[in-house]
Amino acid sequence: MTLAELIAQARTALDTAITTRQTEQDALVAMRSDENLTEEAVRTQVAARDTADAEVTRRQTALDELLAEEAREAEIAALQARTTPAANRAPAYDQVAHVGQEERTYRPDQDRRGSNFERDVAAAFLGDYEARDRLARHMTEERVERGDQLERAAGTGAFSGLVVPQYLTDLYAPAAAARRPFADAIRGHDLPAQGMTVNLSRVTTTTSVDVQSAENAAVAEQDIDDTLMTINVQTNAGQQTLSRQAIERGAGVEPVVLDDLFRRYATTLDSKLLNQATNGLTNVATAVAYTDGTPTAAEFYPKILESLAGVEAALLDMASGENIAVMHSRRWYWMQNALSSTWPLISQPGIAAQMAGTNLATTYGSGVRGTLPNGTPVIVDNNIATNLGAGTNEDEVYLVDRNECHLWEDPSAPMYIRAEQPKAANLGVLMVVYGYFAYTHVRYAQARKIGGTGLVTPTFTGV
């Protein structure tokens, strides 16, 4: 084993020792808040913490010794270079002309299956500093060659070193996912670092102001009061166990599985915001019925305005004015299919017409798809259910003030765990993706949903 490998191993051991020590310290802090605490339990935990402390010191000493040895070796090499006759010394790299291009860190001609990349991803998660350096170098190369694609990929910067080399993925066809259009459109917050609830104060009893009945008479008075609003923090998670054979003998299997886990994570989170029992948007929004055996887009549009009127009436001066309409893609295209007696109800890009709305021609999941005749932006989200109603063939359209739909997420989510030990006897590797989130649509009860027989599976007849 080389000196560099020994140093990398010592750094990994030190990282592990520090993590263990922090775990013991956290346990001690948590224990001290326990009302049933005993002195013996505290002494035991303090001893465990001190043992972990000693291990950190031992590992740090070992690493310092190796680093000192490395520095001494560098000094010897420099001394040797000074004492070697100039005639026998090769010219320095920066003193020789070079033509060409630096080789990529991961190359298809040397690593067709991408096993070197996969091994570095795994080693980096286990603390291998050299693997992290190679992945960082790879990310720099990716930004140079595919920077425009990486900038469009939401959250790529949070997974530095995990962008799969292009030659491994140019023919990869991931399973389609609805992803998170609604979650990305509403008001986001960083989830607090601790706790499993988010608590908000909501004023439910207001003060009172009225005209004074007579001079020196008592003026109106009512005591203000609030109600604590408690929002649960939820854990969104998924796992996949891969055989070592699949990872080591397959072509890019691990990155493909990781990508799919991230896609399912995003889809599930968005679906919960819309459909979850009790708190999902469909269960808290006030219903606006659209019942029609022969529905048309022209008849449907007034229901949208009715819903928006309800949103503003509920919010009054708290309305931000940033209302959005959230609908399934089948409903959006049904509205575009409709024609008025003279002009298209929804215009298309590049067509100069007296339009009543616009289609921005953006792709699914990329934000606002268009605007309705009154200027309300449209978010298309295929996590909206299409099996509602008596005939199990209806969808719903939601009208909300986007700033009053709140989503708290951990800034690092989703997080990734790669564990080999639990499945070692089966030659399995466990991959887990998880994250914490909390949400509410009812800080003010403002959301509206349009549903009914007028929103059955659409037929595209131009009306």
pLDDT in tens, 81-120: 665 555 455 555 455 544 455 677 877 666 665 667 766 7
pLDDT beneath 70, residues of the chain:
1, 33, 35, 81-102, 108-115, 118-119, 121-127, 142-172, 251, 341-356
**Cβ-based neighbours of 259, under 8 Å, separated by 6 or more:** 164, 174
Q: What is the pLDDT of residue 155?
A: 42
Q: Work out the burial of residue 197: count CB atoms within 10 Å of its CB; fewer than 13 is exposed, 13-18 middle, 19 or more buried.
A: exposed
**Residue 171 gets which letter from DSSP?**
T
Q: What is the pLDDT of residue 156?
A: 42
Q: Work out the burial of residue 457: count CB atoms within 10 Å of its CB; fewer than 13 is exposed, 13-18 middle, 19 or more buried.
A: exposed
- Show the CA angle centred on residue 307, arms to residues 301 and 313, nearest 5°: 140
Q: Which two tokens stand for residue 241?
A: 């166990």
Query: Which H or E element spans position 417?
Result: strand 415-419
Query: Which residue(s) pair with 370 in the sheet?
Result: 359, 378
Query: Which H or E element spans position 317?
Result: none
Distance CA 411, CA 414 (A): 9
Output the pTM of the full model.
0.63
* Contact between 201 and 226 (Cβ < 8 Å): yes
Positive or negative torsion for Cα 337, 338, 341, 344: negative
- Residue 375's region, left for phi above 0, alpha for psi from -120 to 50, else beta, is left
Query: Which residue(s) pair with 418 in the sheet?
Result: 431
**What values do phi and psi take at 412, rounded to 5?**
-90, -5
Distance CA 95, CA 98 (A): 9
Distance CA 287, CA 387 (A): 17
- Edge-to-edge, what's the strand order for the sheet holding 358-359? 286-289, 448-451, 397-401, 323-327, 377-380, 370-371, 358-359
Number of C-beta neighbours around residue 407 at 10 A: 22
Distance CA 49, CA 384 (A): 50
**Cβ-based neighbours of 276, under 8 Å, separated by 6 or more:** 283
**Does the domain made of 172-210+218-463 have the CATH classification 3.30.2400.10?**
yes
